[in-house]
Structure 1
């Protein structure tokens, strides 16, 4: 590709998305019931192939990446630009590729297609390297952010399990206390009855002794004057 020229990023952008189409609007759903907050959906745009709606943010990231990696001289991107210009001619796909190749060769006297394969492979390598770096960052983010949340989640679960066990232990103690309370009520009745019976027996025996002694005193006073 020629050294970075004005508008090259815009040209690269047009190779991958249909800029003429409006960005796909994400439907906003309102819910009267409060719930977990969800991240806002990223604005998307349709790709050139019409097979998917891609994230505009990442489209611009890759376009900037490829623009900075612009190789000197005619290469895959110039050919892609020539190919794009053939779309309005009504040619079949094979004829478009052949006509674009003829136009591309006229740019710099290029005679074989190896430059297209080589430069395209270089750009693929740049994209693959960027993807590897991105996935590494994703893995780190998961470890740092999600991992911390998972640790907190585990601690809270363990804490709740401990509380549940404590509650179970307390409930058992309460049940044991209730059983003992029932036993004590019966024992109170039983012991009260025993003590009362013993008291009555004491009083009866006491009365018998007192009566006997008093009776003897009365007779002593009567018979021994």
Structure 2
């Protein structure tokens, strides 16, 4: 085909998501008459990362770490369209048929008539007369997307191992550190309690020892006075009686 991958990608994208109906795509509801776009590797963990394995931001209002239902994501739709464009072979195939079928969506025809009319138009434009070319090429695109999904899942697992694994290691380290600090706090509290008990005991001992020392000093002074008074008395009497 003469079309560039970029322009073909935009056309492929238009098959699945109508630009004029953003509300429908935002809510995850495919446009009427168009097949639902492939979900990006499930509706939980894979929806949290980009095709390159880089986690996307959580939806506004969702609590951190909570799982939310998957929705049609414009960046993944663009990615799938690009993948399909890169694998679109030359000549009419499923997507040319799909473009014709999409153009008949507003004519009021039944679904069966739409497919029959699109098939007739497809053949008139030079497409193969065997309808198996449509199913075969459509299955090829499904296979291409499935391979991309496998690669995406691997990138998600690698990102989880790198980021979540790192966070889990930090979590264990912090838990161990907190346990060590808690033990230290317990030991410190035990020392504080022991010191407080000893301080109370010391207060009583200070009073007791102070009283004992004061009493001893008073007893010393009284005894000292008694002895010195006797000696001084003897000195006076010696002086008086022994001249």
Query: What's the TM-score, normalizing by structure 1?
Result: 0.74
CA distance in 1, matches of 2:203, 2:71: 78
Residue in structure 2 matched with residue 15 of structure 1 by the alignment? 15
- Distance change (3 Å), C-alpha of 1:96 and 1:131: same
Kept in 2: contact 1:44–1:54 (CA 8 A): yes
Q: Deviations over 1:20-40 (max 9, x none)?
A: 33x56xxxxxxxxxxxxxxxx
Please say if 1:204 is aligned against 2:226.
Answer: no
Q: CA offset at residue 153 of structure 1?
A: 4.2
| Count of residue pairs brought into register by the alignment | 203
What is the DSSP-based 3-state SS (H/G/I as helix, E as strand, rest coil) of the residue aligned with 1:108? coil
Q: Deviations over 1:9-30 (max 9, x none)?
A: 3321221110233x56xxxxxx
Kept in 2: contact 1:15–1:80 (CA 8 A): yes
CA distance in 2, matches of 1:188, 1:16: 92
Residue in structure 2 matched with residue 110 of structure 1 by the alignment? 129
Query: What's the TM-score, normalizing by structure 2?
Result: 0.69
- Distance change (3 Å), C-alpha of 1:178 and 1:53: closer
Q: CA offset at residue 69 of structure 1?
A: 0.4
Q: CA offset at residue 178 of structure 1?
A: 2.7
Kept in 1: contact 2:93–2:127 (CA 8 A): no
Kept in 1: contact 2:12–2:95 (CA 8 A): yes
CA distance in 2, matches of 1:82, 1:53: 27
Residue in structure 2 matched with residue 64 of structure 1 by the alignment? 82
CA distance in 2, matches of 1:97, 1:108: 15
Residue in structure 1 matched with residue 31 of structure 2 by the alignment? 48
- Distance change (3 Å), C-alpha of 1:175 and 1:109: closer
CA distance in 1, matches of 2:86, 2:101: 22
- Distance change (3 Å), C-alpha of 1:10 and 1:209: closer
Q: Deviations over 1:104-142 (max 9, x none)?
A: 34433423x332222222111111111111121122222
For the aligned residue pairs, the C-alpha RMSD in angstroms reads 3.0
Residue in structure 2 matched with residue 75 of structure 1 by the alignment? 93
Long gaps (5+) in structure 2: 37-69
Q: CA offset at residue 161 of structure 1?
A: 4.2
Q: Give matches, 1:1-225, under 5 Å.
A: 3-5=1-3, 7-21=7-21, 23=22, 47-49=30-32, 54-106=72-124, 107-111=126-130, 113-225=131-243
Q: CA offset at residue 54 of structure 1?
A: 2.7
CA distance in 2, matches of 1:155, 1:100: 63
